[in-house]
A and B are shown apart, each in its own frame.
Chain A
Amino acid sequence: MSSEQAVLETRDLTINFGGHVAVNRVSCQFHKGTLTSIVGPNGAGKTTWFNLISGQLKATAGQVLLNGEDLTGLTAARRADKGLGRAFQLTNLFPNLTALENVRLAVAARHHIGHVFWQMASHRRDLTDRAMEYLTRVNLANRAGYLVSGLPHGDQRKLEVALMLALEPEVFMFDEPTAGMSVDEVPVILDLIADIKKQQDKVILLVEHKMDVVRSLSDRIVVLHNGELVADGEPAEVIASPVVQEAYLGASPDQQPEVAHG
């Protein structure tokens, strides 16, 4: 553990769904400028752990701390405001609004102007320009005026990421950002993640099944299995460790081909 204070920390974080412990006493610290991949078989509790961190679920026990401040009692909205950014695994957007409006909502949330009712939304050039910047970053500038419900899946995934970027969070939580994307679209997202990492002052958490992606981007890998943290360390070391071979790869043989070619 590094001596500087962790940006994000979970302490004994636990959730119990009527007897089924989906996340069991997970303690972990995340530091500035690092990208941590969270891997584990389906149902290992990765997304649930994310939900506990970003506040979509309330923990049964344990704490979530951001820069030493306890966020455990706060709602998802307050946590987002404090700097926890979240992109969802299943695309989760505003379907009957345009792509631009989706991002503009995130920009407005970041700048706390959601309560402004006397100005025209379209007159806030500052919001629109910023929103367009983020759309450009995810290669969606030419889709700005389209309704989200009419966008192809890949574009919706990119928009999901644009929304998180627009929140300018301190912690970026990507939940399978490239799932269901076509091969030629994936690099856009991976370059973006690499860009954020280059800024050196953000914390990035990534849930990803594609082992080549994990290996090329991560500074560290955390392995969850049955809701418990079973391994944590340098990528090469973690992937090679027997506990991972057994827990992750052994438990889910369908993941092996991906590892083999990655």
Chain B
Amino acid sequence: MSLFWTFSRQHFYKQSAYRLNFWLEMGGMFLQLYVVATLWNVLFTQTPTGFGSATLTQMITYAVLGILLGAVLSVDEGVHSYLQGQVRMGLITTDLMKPVDFLLHMLARDFGATVVRLSFYLLPPLVFAYLLFDLVLPVDAVQVVYFLIAVFQAWVILFFCNFLFGLISFKTLDLLGFIFTYYALIRFASGQIIPLWMYPDWMQPFLYALPFQSIFYTPIGLFTGVISGGQATTALWTQTAWMIGLFVAARFIWARIHRHLVVQGG
């Protein structure tokens, strides 16, 4: 456990090393929040009934949370980009030489980075968004607890997805060709930008069968009340199942790759 906190400490340090980067990213987030809120306002004034049973405030809340969670559960920066960087530079050797389990080591590292992003990129913009727009807030404590559990499980699922994706770089030494497909998959198939119920009927079974919906759609749905009652517990259990399934897959595939490992660079 102390490993997790040590890594958080390092990431706070690292964050403070790039202050300009932080302010730019923060500015970018405020801009995004403003744009999605305006967008949904315009869409709703034109076709108020075109978006299912969802209300305007629900939609804005959904969009705002999509952006905020997107900043915390990042697809740009994660274990996959770390792996790719280390493999490309031939630095992965230094990680492989540590007397800790590799998967646990990577998880602790990602935890540190996520805690930092959580405290920097979630809370301030959330306050900003709350003051500026009408948001739907959870009505009872259970909903808040469900949401928090869902975010935690979403983090674990995204970590394993990123990890499995990052393993490609051990084979190809690069992720460039795949990264755009992966981005698109996560951003659209997870319901981060567009809620899943808006997709065509024939696509929905596929989207629900993938792990990605557990990453964004589940926590956002729980927060906004789109997912409630029996559906809520089902969604949480689905997440848990994905966590375990992806963990087993990651372990298995990593063990195989480790056996065939070739480290780049003299």
Q: Do A and B bind each other?
A: no
